[in-house]
Structure 1
Amino acid sequence: MSKILEALKTRRSYYGISNESTISDDQIVDIVQEAVKHTPTSFNSQTSRAVVLLGEHHHKLWDITKEELRKITKSEEAFAATSEKMASFYNGYGTVLFFEDEQVIKGLQEQFAAYADNFPIWANQSNGMLQLVVWSALEEAGLGASLQHYNPLIDEEVKSTWNIPSHWKLIAQMPFGKPTMQPSEKQYQPVEDRVKVFNK
């Protein structure tokens, strides 16, 4: 089996992570930079953006998310479960934020009007590929991660806190750290029901 498929096979969602890393901060940054550089984009538009939060910056993100969720949670009982979930992310080592540059997308829409409606869709597809590349590379490095989506709830506070350009649209958040527990066994639908082959 190829290394790529092996990484995909072992990649899982880890919710039990610690404030430890199996690799250096420089190696983490290198993974994200290489993924952003080499993940394909439509028209080679290179619209994907990423922000790596480590140390107190990582903790700040999940404090922000917790407080934004507090504002919309209807009861203290419901918030207790939310708070516990936020703590699992907070306890990690870092977070990768994924964005799309809407300014570039708008420029492409103007330049190639016939495909205007497709560029936001293609950008999201590219961002999804980037997320998977980073996720699989972190897994291969011995780090556990999960993919979260607290946007647009936290968008404005994130942009303000880290001086993110206004035309960067937040797509997803990926907290990561050294795994402290194994995920449950994954169930698969029959692959024969999901893939059709015509070869004759």
Structure 2
Amino acid sequence: MTNTFLDSIKVRRSIYALDKNVSLSQNEIEEIIKEAVKLSPSSFNSQSSRAVILFGESHDKLWNITEETLRGIVPAENFASTEEKIASFRAGYGTVLFFEDTEVIEGLQENFALYADNFPIWSEQSTGIAQHSVWVALANAGIGASLQHYNPLIDDAVQAEFDLPESWNLRAQMPFGNIVAEAGEKEFIDDEKRFRTFK
């Protein structure tokens, strides 16, 4: 069976060995990210996902913030591995920050009270889809990425540094760049443990 979509998502992997030697321009990368987020579905077509795209010094600032935040939490004797990990993200070409706009979610809760409890859940699903869409789109452009979650530890500092609306709730960080080392073989659990089909 040939399925171009499945072929496309097979390319997406968690890539940690990155550098800045990408062949695409910043504008081209920005357009890929914007289109991927815009085309991602959301409940009630709420379009609650927000993305902040960081290049250059802004990208470095994010990972400096993250490193300094973690330095205050991780014991000094264990910090070397944390520092190395953050350095690997900083070595990339850029980062996408994914947010959900709580103002949109709260508006939906007011306007559709019957579903009020579900909108935060659907918001998490929306951001997950947007993250996957961007990840796959970057992978298909030959750009490696991984998904990180240093929120909520870095939320306040990120909001202040980049002057973002208070209603934007940070959900994930995606460092990206040129692939220095490919991911290893991906293993899957047996289908019998994951799927059931009834006819």
The two structures have a TM-score, normalised by structure 2, of 0.97
How far is the alpha carbon of 1:22 from its aligned partner? 2.7
Q: How much is the aligned-residue C-alpha RMSD, in angstroms? A: 0.9
Deviations 1:29-75 (A, max 9, x none): 1111111211000001110000000111111100100000001012x
Superposed CA offset, 1:66-92 (max 9, x none): 000001012x22111100000000000
3-state SS in 2 of match to 1:189: coil
Q: Which residue of 1 aligns with 2:26?
A: 25
Q: Return the alpha-carbon distance in structure 2 between the equivalents of residues 22 and 163 of structure 1.
A: 30
Asked if 2 retains the 8 angstrom alpha-carbon contact of 1:35 and 1:130, the reply is yes
Separation in structure 1 between the aligned mates of residue 4 and residue 123 of structure 2, nearest angstrom? 26
Aligned residue for 1:169?
169
Q: Given the alignment of the two structures, is residue 106 of structure 1 paired with residue 106 of structure 2, yes or no?
A: yes
Alignment correspondent of 2:93: 93
What is the CA deviation profile of residues 140-195 of structure 1, one whole-angstrom value per residue up to 9, with x for unaligned ones? 00011000000000001100011110000000000000011111221100123212
Amino acid of the residue matched to residue 37 of structure 1? K
2: CA distance between counterparts of 1:20 and 1:77? 33
Alignment match, 1:42: 43
Q: Do 1:55 and 1:93's aligned partners in 2 also have CA atoms closer than 8 Å?
A: yes
Q: Report the residue type matching 1:35 in the other structure.
A: A
Structure 1 stretches of at least 4 aligned residues deviating more than 6 Å after TM superposition? none
CA distance in 1, matches of 2:35, 2:43: 18
Instruction: Give the aligned length.
Output: 198
The residue that corresponds to 1:70 in the other structure is 71
Unpaired segments ≥5 residues, structure 2: none
Deviates more, 1:76-85 or 1:90-99: 76-85
Opposite residue 91 of structure 1, the aligned amino acid is: A
Q: % of aligned pairs identical?
A: 55
Q: Normalization by structure 1: what TM-score?
A: 0.96
Partner Cα distance (1:167, 1:190) in 2: 42
Which residue of structure 1 aligns with residue 7 of structure 2?
Answer: 6
